[in-house]
Amino acid sequence: MPVTNETEKKKVIFSAIQPSGTITLGNYLGALRNWIGLQDEYDCVFALADLHTITVRQEPAKFRQNTLEAYALLLACGIDVEKSLFFIQSHVHTHAELAWILNCYTQFGELSRMTQFKDKSAKHADNINVGLFAYPSLMAADILLYQADMVPVGADQKQHLELSRDIAQRFNGLYSPTFTVPEPYIPQTGARVMSLQDPAKKMSKSDENVNGWVAVLDKPEDILRKFKRAVTDSDGRIAYGPGKDGVNNLMGIYSCITGKTNAQIEAEFDGKGYGDFKTAVAEAVIAHLTPIREKFTQYIADKAYLEQCYTKSAQQALAVSNRTLRKVMKKIGFIPKPF
Q: 205 an active-site residue?
A: yes
3-state secondary structure at position 328 = helix
Q: 62 an active-site residue?
A: no
Q: Judge whether 297 and 305 are in contact, CB under 8 Å.
A: no
Q: How does DSSP classify residue 157? A: G
Angle at CA 135, nearest 5°, toward 134 and 139?
Answer: 120
Please choose, from the candidates 62, 63, 117, the residue with its C-alpha nearest in 3D space to the C-alpha of residue 88.
63
**15 belongs to the binding site for ligand TRP (CB under 6 A):** yes
Please choose, from the candidates 113, 120, 70, the residue with its C-alpha nearest in 3D space to the C-alpha of residue 90.
70
Please choose, from the candidates 149, 321, 110, 289, the residue with its C-alpha nearest in 3D space to the C-alpha of residue 214.
289
**163 belongs to the binding site for ligand TRP (CB under 6 A):** no
Indicate left, alpha or beta for 313 from its phi (over 0: left) and psi (-120 to 50: alpha): alpha
Judged by CB under 6 A, the residue of 151, 191, 250, 251 near ligand TRP is 151
**13 belongs to the binding site for ligand TRP (CB under 6 A):** no
Q: Nearest approach, Cβ of 258 to ligand TRP (angstroms)?
A: 27
Describe the crossing of helices 94-103 and 303-332 by its angle, rounded to 10 degrees: 40
3-state secondary structure at position 286 = helix
Region of 138-146, 165-173, 268-276, 331-339 interacting with ligand TRP (CB under 6 A): 138-146
Euclidean distance between CA atoms 26 and 204, whole angstroms: 7
Q: Nearest approach, Cβ of 181 to ligand TRP (angstroms)?
A: 14
96-130: b or e for each residue (b if 16 or more CB lie within 10 Å)?
Answer: ebbbebbbebbeeeebeebeebeebeeeeeeeeee
Q: 312 an active-site residue?
A: no
Q: Nearest approach, Cβ of 104 to ligand TRP (angstroms)?
A: 19
Binding to ligand TRP (CB under 6 A) within 226-255 occurs at none
Catalytic residue among 11, 205, 295, 331: 205
Helix (H) or strand (E) holding 85: strand 85-88
Helix (H) or strand (E) holding 303: helix 303-332
**153 belongs to the binding site for ligand TRP (CB under 6 A):** yes
Region of 16-24, 229-237, 274-282, 300-308 interacting with ligand TRP (CB under 6 A): 16-24
3-state secondary structure at position 67 = helix
Binding mask 254-273 for ligand TRP (x = CB under 6 A): --------------------
Q: Nearest approach, Cβ of 22 to ligand TRP (angstroms)?
A: 14
Judged by CB under 6 A, the residue of 3, 13, 17, 292 near ligand TRP is 17
- The two beta strands, 150-152 and 183-185, are parallel
Binding mask 43-72 for ligand TRP (x = CB under 6 A): ------x--x--------------------
Catalytic residue among 202, 226, 244, 278: 202
Q: Nearest approach, Cβ of 296 to ligand TRP (angstroms)?
A: 21
Euclidean distance between CA atoms 178 and 45, whole angstroms: 19
Tell me, by CB under 6 A, how many residues bind ligand TRP: 13
Q: Nearest approach, Cβ of 149 to ligand TRP (angstroms)?
A: 13
Judged by CB under 6 A, the residue of 143, 191, 265, 281 near ligand TRP is 143
**14 belongs to the binding site for ligand TRP (CB under 6 A):** yes
Judged by CB under 6 A, the residue of 30, 142, 284, 285 near ligand TRP is 142
Footprint of ligand TRP on this chain (CB under 6 A)?
A: 14-18, 49, 52, 139, 142-143, 151, 153, 157
